[in-house]
């Protein structure tokens, strides 16, 4: 059958030199949310996406065990025509189901006609004469727009350490962020480098299949019980009438889950009552143990130790090997509980306990060099030497928060690349706008409650702020809006003041961008909660406090 000719612009793409009200970069949750909102406001928009389809992180994440650790029904967009016609199969959906959800969103909202896929942006500049953003892509597409919405993701650009001898290795090596589906490790020797959330999910799966699996780690993760369960369509049909109230409660909460923290210090609670509360939170699964805990857990080392000791007890009930206990749930906490991402697990510690799984402490035995058949760790007389592997999995993380923004040729109005603008540290106003970048907005961004929040909740908060701002600017006849340097200084000072008397500054991780060699380690999180963040942003946007606004007249 002959194909029916369809204009390319209706399928995927944009004509050369197309002009738009708004250009959106990225077609994950953030890009979809902004496209839907701005189209609803009557703007002519277009999205440029590096991948072949919708999904963002869920387009790229295809490694074994990849699934979200935010629970449904909260992990979805609060768009009625979408959620009324979709049912999840699990409390924590996997990457297959999340891509199916994205396809449903696309079909329901007719998104694809306004998206160019396989279109990685490599230049993004401000035309002073026309007061418009001009973008080009690696495949030669060009477009201009009055507004620029950066939705390129928090954890997108993969990080691979520069190990000595890596080119000599003849086996299979994959980063978790570029995993070829269908990779089989049955009967093979596998190394997993890294012990963060991605590693936890990979080890859970590959440890059941590989002949031998070695986890090479610097610090253990403090994993929480996922308590996965299946959802029936009938349950969701009955619950769906409550979704508007559920989403509203999430939006006015601190982290996007309407969980109430105990308004009491740990030391002020009767130990037996405290233990019952710990057990209740643990059984609930997900992040309940973290979010429903006592008020001073991330403020007071003594209180933090009480929580860590309970966690340690729970882990050691399942991870019974004494040597592995010392590494994964040591007597003394390697870092404060709750100051680094706590992954969710189903049978991680059971798999680690298996005889075919061993653990290498990279503090004691660091990687010396890769070899043709595997890698060599230092410490010849104490667990060191060469180890042979058929497959090496690099769960070594991402250039978080800024990595995607600093590799797209994004330049300010004076032609300075953002990577140079931010060379001495990230500067934003409200975690959404930047001095020198007129009419440009970031969503799911640094210096916002991003890492400490349910993704869809915080990005919908920011999408609403962006949409309302653009709507007001257009109504007022404003040509450009730009944050002032003084407003950026004030925002960063206030954001850092919130963490100053907490335990967060004592722990390095991707949360403060210290995981990338040479990158400045600094606080990237607004810890005051989504509710306070939105209230503060809306107050600043009333009367354009901290902005330079230029009229079109």
Tell me, what DSSP letter sits at residue 343?
-
pLDDT of 17 reads 60
Query: Hey, is 331 helix, strand or coil?
Result: coil
How far is Cα 146 from Cα 441, in angstroms, rounded to an integer? 12
With beta carbons less than 8 A apart as the criterion, state whether 71 and 92 touch: yes
Residue 91 pLDDT: 98
pLDDT value of residue 12:
43
Compute the Cα dihedral for 185, 55, 156, 139 and give only its sign.
positive
CB contact set of 547 (below 8 Å; sequence gap of 6+): 429, 433, 481, 482, 483, 484, 487, 541
Q: Residue 11's pLDDT is what?
A: 36
| Total residue count of the chain as it appears in this document | 553
DSSP 8-state class, residue 381: T
Structure tokens at 496: 């850092």
Radius of gyration of the chain (CA): 24
* Residue of 8, 391, 375 whose CA lies nearest to 179: 391
DSSP code for 254: S
Task: Determine the Cα–Cα distance for residues 196 and 207; give it in Å rounded to an integer.
Answer: 16
Instruction: Sort 379 into a burial class: Cβ within 10 Å, 0-12 / 13-18 / 19+.
Output: middle
Predicted local distance difference test score (pLDDT) of residue 379: 85
Pick the CATH number of 9-157+399-551 from 3.50.50.60, 3.10.20.30, 3.40.50.970, 3.40.50.300: 3.50.50.60
Domain boundaries, the chain: 9-157+399-551, 166-230+255-394
Residues 6+ apart with CB under 8 A from 230: 89, 90, 91
DSSP 526: -
Strand 440-442 and strand 189-193: the pairing is unpaired
Supply the pLDDT for residue 353: 98
DSSP for 267-297, written as a single string:
GGS-HHHHHHHHHHHHHH-TTHHHHTSBTTT
Q: 115: which strand partners?
A: 47
**Contact present, 126 and 437 (Cβ < 8 Å):** yes
CA distance 58 to 98: 7
Classify the phi-psi angles of 551: left when phi > 0, otherwise alpha if psi is within -120 to 50, otherwise beta: beta
477 neighbors 546 (Cβ within 8 angstroms): no
HEC profile of 432-457: CECCCCCCEEECCCCCECHHHCCHHH
Predicted TM-score (pTM) of this structure: 0.95
Q: What is the three-class DSSP state of 184?
A: coil
Asked if 296 contacts 266 with a C-beta cutoff of 8 angstroms, the reply is yes
Give residues with Cβ within 8 angstroms of 496, minimum separation 6.
Answer: 523
Burial of 85 (0-12, 13-18, 19+ CB in 10 A): exposed
- SS3 category, 163: coil
Nearest to 327 by CA among 212, 216, 225, 224: 216
Structure tokens at 441: 């907005």
Closest CA to 67 of 229, 198, 222: 198
Q: Which tokens go with 412?
A: 């300010």
Cis peptide before 206 (omega within 30 of 0): no
Domains 9-157+399-551 and 166-230+255-394 belong to one CATH topology: yes
Q: What confidence score (pLDDT) does residue 164 get? A: 96
Query: Could you tell me the fold of the domain covering 166-230+255-394?
Result: FAD/NAD(P)-binding domain (3.50.50)
Query: Do the Cβ atoms of 495 and 526 come closer than 8 Å?
Result: yes
Q: What is the pLDDT along the chain (553 residues), one digit of tens a residue?
A: 222 232 333 334 444 469 999 999 999 999 999 999 999 999 999 999 999 999 999 999 999 999 999 999 999 999 999 999 999 999 999 999 999 999 999 999 999 999 999 999 999 999 999 999 999 999 999 999 999 999 999 988 999 999 999 999 999 999 999 999 889 999 999 999 999 999 999 999 999 999 999 999 999 999 999 999 999 999 999 999 999 999 999 999 999 999 999 999 999 999 999 999 999 999 999 999 999 999 999 999 999 999 999 999 999 999 999 999 999 999 999 999 999 999 999 999 999 999 999 999 999 999 999 999 999 999 866 778 999 999 999 999 999 999 999 999 999 999 999 999 999 999 999 999 999 999 999 999 999 999 999 999 999 999 999 999 999 999 999 999 999 999 999 999 999 999 999 999 999 999 999 999 989 999 999 999 999 999 999 999 999 999 999 998 7
Question: How far is residue 457's CA from residue 434's CA, in Å, rounded to a whole number?
Answer: 22
Q: Do the Cβ atoms of 220 and 329 come closer than 8 Å?
A: yes
Number of neighbours of residue 29 by Cβ within 10 angstroms: 28
Pairing of strands 45-48, 115-116: parallel
């Amino acid at each position: 059958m002959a194909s029916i000719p369809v204009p390319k612009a209706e399928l995927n793409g944009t004509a050369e030199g197309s002009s738009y009200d708004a250009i959106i970069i990225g077609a994950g949750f953030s890009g979809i949310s902004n496209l839907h909102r701005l189209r609803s406001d009557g703007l002519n928009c277009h999205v440029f996406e590096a991948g072949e389809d919708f999904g963002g992180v869920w387009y790229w994440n295809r490694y074994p065990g990849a699934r979200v650790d935010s629970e449904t029904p909260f992990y979805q967009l609060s768009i009625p025509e979408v959620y009324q016609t979709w049912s999840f199969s699990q409390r924590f959906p996997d990457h297959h189901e999340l891509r199916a959800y994205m396809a449903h969103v696309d079909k329901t909202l007719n998104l694809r006609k306004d998206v160019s896929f396989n279109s990685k942006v490599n230049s993004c500049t401000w035309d002073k004469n026309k007061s418009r953003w001009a973008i080009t892509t690696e495949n030669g597409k060009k477009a201009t727009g009055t507004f620029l919405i950066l939705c390129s993701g928090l954890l997108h650009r993969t990080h691979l350490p520069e190990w000595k001898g890596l080119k000599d290795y003849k086996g299979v090596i994959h980063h978790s962020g570029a995993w070829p589906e269908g990779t089989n490790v049955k009967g093979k020797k596998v190394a997993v480098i890294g012990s963060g959330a991605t590693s936890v999910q990979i080890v859970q799966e590959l440890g059941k299949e590989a002949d031998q699996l070695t986890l090479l780690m610097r610090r253990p993760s403090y994993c929480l019980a996922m308590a996965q369960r299946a959802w029936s369509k009938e349950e969701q049909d009955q619950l769906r009438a409550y979704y508007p109230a559920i989403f509203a409660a999430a939006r006015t909460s601190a982290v996007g889950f309407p969980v109430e923290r105990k308004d009491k210090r740990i030391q002020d609670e009767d130990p037996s009552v405290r233990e019952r509360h710990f057990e209740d939170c643990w059984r609930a699964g997900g992040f309940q143990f973290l979010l429903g805990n006592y008020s001073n857990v991330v403020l007071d080392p003594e209180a933090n130790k009480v929580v860590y000791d309970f966690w340690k007890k729970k882990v050691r009930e399942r991870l019974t090997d004494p040597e592995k206990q010392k590494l994964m749930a040591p007597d003394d906490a390697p870092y404060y509980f709750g100051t680094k991402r706590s992954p969710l697990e189903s049978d991680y510690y059971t798999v680690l306990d298996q005889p075919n799984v061993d653990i290498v402490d990279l503090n004691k035995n660091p990687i010396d060099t890769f070899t043709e058949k595997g890698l060599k760790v230092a410490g010849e007389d104490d667990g060191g030497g060469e180890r042979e592997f058929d497959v090496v999995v690099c769960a070594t993380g991402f250039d978080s928060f800024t990595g995607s923004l600093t590799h797209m040729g994004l330049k300010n109005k004076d032609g300075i690349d953002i990577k140079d603008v931010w060379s001495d540290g990230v500067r934003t106003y409200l975690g959404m706008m930047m001095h020198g970048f007129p009419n440009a907005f970031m969503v799911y961004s640094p210096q916002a409650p991003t890492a400490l929040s349910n993704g869809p909740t915080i990005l919908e908060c920011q999408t609403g702020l962006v949409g309302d701002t653009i709507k007001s600017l257009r109504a007022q006849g404003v040509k450009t809006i730009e944050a002032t340097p003084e407003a950026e200084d004030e925002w960063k000072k206030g954001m850092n003041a919130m963490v100053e008397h907490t335990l967060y500054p004592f722990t390095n991780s991707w949360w403060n961008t210290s995981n990338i060699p040479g990158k400045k380690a600094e606080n990237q999180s607004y810890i005051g909660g989504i509710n306070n963040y939105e209230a503060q942003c809306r107050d600043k946007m009333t009367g354009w406090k901290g902005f330079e606004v230029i009229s079109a007249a």
